[in-house]
């Protein structure tokens, strides 16, 4: 066992003085009593909430692709999604394509723990935080919000904060700047039309150096009779 004398520290002498804690507590009380109280007059005056307050989850149904990531990652299983497939005829395509159509998107806020995982994992920005928190109900069943009700909260979603000028630029901005810095490539020559003879490239005659003394001209055979056929 450890000796109690070894666990003692120099501050134990101050703590052992009678009335030290009482004096410190009264000092905090007197300091607070001299300050003016600031009471927020809610609900007459709306509270000043931080820009990233977690009030209620809003849904932008146009961006939802029914990937089910939010429902699978929800730790409380409070998101319910139903959908069906529709065929989309694309002109010029060999066959019709299929797409998911959202039929039901409900969030049970009586089970929601406001962790924000569903908003973070959504790859198409279909879920947003709204600072609105005044949606209490007398019946717990009314806390199940459908996609129409969730879509109404989109009007209360604040705009995103401005980008920090000292921060790292977005990947889209970096890619656009890199693409603009690359010079445009020259367009290649168009292929010849049917029945049209392709134009030959102009022949450039290379300047030949003068023949050396005693050497035969180019194309002449060894007998000196001229170029061979």
Instruction: Determine how many CB atoms are found less than 10 A away from the CB of residue 56.
Output: 22
Using an 8 Å Cβ cutoff, are 77 and 121 in contact? Answer: no
Mean pLDDT of the chain: 81
Q: What is the pLDDT of residues 127-138, one digit of tens each?
A: 999 999 999 999
Confidence tier at 113 by pLDDT (50, 70, 90) = very high
Q: What is the pLDDT of residues 16-71, one digit of tens each?
A: 688 888 999 999 998 888 888 888 888 888 888 887 889 999 999 999 999 999 99
Confidence tier at 6 by pLDDT (50, 70, 90) = low
Instruction: Determine how many CB atoms are found less than 10 A away from the CB of residue 53.
Output: 13
CA-wise closest residue to 109 among 138, 144, 136: 144
Between CA 48 and CA 56, with CA 51 as vertex, the angle to 5 degrees is 90
Residue 120 in this model has a pLDDT that exceeds 60: yes
Task: Give the chain's domains with CATH numbers.
Answer: 56-156 (3.30.70.3270)
In angstroms, rounded to a whole number, what is the distance separating the alpha carbons of residues 130 and 60?
12
CA-wise closest residue to 104 among 76, 137, 78, 79: 79
């Amino acid at each position: 066992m450890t000796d109690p004398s070894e666990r003692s520290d120099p501050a134990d002498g101050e703590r052992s003085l009678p009335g030290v804690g009482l004096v410190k507590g009264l000092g905090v009380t007197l300091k607070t009593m001299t300050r003016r109280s600031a009471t927020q007059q809610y609900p007459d005056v709306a509270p000043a909430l931080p820009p990233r307050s977690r009030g209620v989850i809003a849904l932008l149904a146009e961006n939802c692709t029914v990937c089910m990531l939010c429902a699978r990652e929800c730790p409380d299983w409070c998101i319910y999604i139903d959908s069906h497939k529709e065929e989309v005829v694309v002109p010029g395509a060999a066959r019709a394509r299929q797409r998911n159509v959202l039929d039901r998107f409900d969030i049970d806020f009586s089970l929601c723990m406001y962790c924000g995982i569903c908003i973070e994992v959504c790859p198409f920005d279909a879920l947003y935080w709204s600072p609105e928190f005044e949606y209490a109900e007398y019946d717990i069943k009314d806390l199940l919000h459908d996609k129409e009700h969730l879509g109404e909260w989109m009007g209360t979603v604040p705009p995103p904060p401005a980008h920090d000028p000292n921060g790292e630029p977005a990947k889209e901005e970096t890619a656009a700047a890199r693409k603009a810095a690359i010079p445009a490539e020259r367009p290649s020559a168009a292929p010849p039309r049917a029945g049209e003879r392709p134009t030959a490239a102009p022949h450039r005659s290379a300047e030949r150096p003068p023949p050396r003394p005693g050497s035969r001209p180019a194309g002449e055979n060894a007998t000196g009779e001229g170029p061979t056929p």
